[in-house]
Chains A and B, each alone.
Chain A
Amino acid sequence: MAFQILLNVLIAFTWMFLSVSFKPTTFIVGYILGLLMLFMLRKSLSTRFYMDRLWAVIKLGTLFIKELVLSNISVLKLILKPTMPIRPAIFAMPTVLEQDWEITLLSSLITLTPGTIVIDISDDNKTLYIHSIDFEDIDEAIESIRNTFEKAILEVSRS
């Protein structure tokens, strides 16, 4: 990914030198041309085309905003009920993520969405211990996190 961006910048500079004009606009035109070339050669590159990854990052961001709003509303509903029918619980969630930054990102996303908090990570970085405010079913809770955040993060980190 970093190599492709570097290549793209290099192409943009080459374009600037070819057209002998050193203005930001020329750089942008060269950069777009470089993008086009990389897009044409995307099958022969050793890693993924980096715009796909950028798109995955944007998707992860929008997913996070969506989950944030929805879970905020659900926690608000819980709090405003006069009987407060909360069922707190702590459960373990095995994760397939391996890199440090992936685990940190997943934990932060889980913690930032109300209703769930990551309490601890096991020593081998394979299991997250999560506290949930309104707990129904362990498999369901794990599945919901798996299908949203973990999938999106895997999509970003796939090389």
Chain B
Amino acid sequence: MKTNDLIIQTTTKVVFFIIFLFSIHIFFAGHYTPGGGFVGGLVMSSAIVLLMLAFDLKTVRDMLPFNYTVITAIGLLISLLTAAGSIYFNVPFFTHVYDYFNLPLLGETSIHTAMFFDTGVYLVVVGVTMNIIQMIGGDE
């Protein structure tokens, strides 16, 4: 019994962009307001899960040909290196620093090493969630 998924597919094409942008926004808002790496990662995964519901597992795999195990590993590595980077400067493990940089296009931007740690968390959450869902949903 194959149903006609026209409405959910068309709506997904619109809603996906909004969820994606919201995920990035929540990730960057985490420093001063509620949000951060964990929530952002979950929202990102939910966007991909919505794609999987509207289309199917194989189509989404072709769209996003990522190995989520590798993404989890990369995320863990980023977090660990950010935390271990402080040892190099003879300060305790996990000491964070921040400074202002003049980036091209963005101008004066404050960059904090906690953001890189959060990037690691984000990638781990996306990787683990998608891994679980692909393993359960996969029917090879």
Whether a CB of chain A sits under 8 angstroms from the CB of B97 is: no
Type the 1/0 row for A102-139, where 1 means its CB is closer than 8 Å to any CB of B. 01100110000000001011110100000000000000
B9-32: contact bitstring with A at CB < 8 Å (1 yes, 0 no)? 111000000000000000000000
Identify A101's interface contact among B3, B4, B10, CB under 8 A: B10
Given the complex, which residues of B lie within 8 Å of A107, measured CB to CB? Answer: 7
Q: How many residues of B contact A (CB 8 A)?
A: 8
Q: Which residue of B lies closest to A104 (CB)?
A: B10
Nearest chain B CB to A129 CB, angstrom units? 10
Contact A125 B7 (CB under 8 A): no
Residues of A contacting B9 in the complex (Cβ-Cβ under 8 angstroms):
100
Tell me whether B4 and A123 are in contact (CB under 8 A). Answer: yes
How many residue pairs, one in A and one in B, have C-beta atoms under 8 Å apart?
24
CB pair B10–A100 under 8 Å, yes or no, is yes
| A121 near B10: Cβ-Cβ < 8 Å | no
Nearest chain A residue, comparing its CB with the CB of B4: A121
**B6 in the interface, Cβ–Cβ < 8 Å?**
yes
A contact residues, range: 10 to 19
| C-alpha spacing A122/B4, complex, angstroms | 7
In the complex, which of the residues A104, A118, A122 contacts B11, with contact meaning CB atoms closer than 8 Å?
A104
Q: Are A120 and B3 in contact (CB under 8 A)?
A: yes
Residues of A near B10 (CB, < 8 A) are 100-101, 103-104
Minimum C-beta distance from B137 to chain A (A): 25
Chain B residues near A120 (CB, 8 Å)?
3-4
Question: Are A103 and B6 closer than 8 Å at their CB atoms?
Answer: yes
A96 to nearest B CB, angstroms?
16
Q: Which residues of B contact A118 (CB under 8 A)?
A: 7
Contact A125 B3 (CB under 8 A): no
| A125–B4 CB distance below 8 A | yes
Q: Are B6 and A104 in contact (CB under 8 A)?
A: yes
Which chain B residues numbered 6 to 58 have a C-beta less than 8 Å away from chain A?
6-7, 9-11
State the CA gap A100–B10 with chains docked (Å).
7
Query: Nearest chain B CB to A106's CB is how many angstroms away?
Result: 10
Question: Which residues of B have CB within 8 Å of A121?
Answer: 4, 6-7
Measured in the bound complex, the distance between the Cα atoms of B9 and A118 in whole Å is: 16
Q: A residues within 8 Å of B by Cβ?
A: 100-101, 103-104, 107-108, 118, 120-123, 125
Additional pairs, 6, CB under 8 Å, beyond known A100-B10, A103-B7, A122-B4: A101-B10, A120-B4, A121-B4, A121-B6, A121-B7, A123-B2
The contact sample of 10 A-B pairs, CB cut-off 8 A, is A101-B10, A103-B7, A103-B10, A104-B11, A118-B7, A120-B4, A123-B2, A123-B4, A125-B4, A125-B6
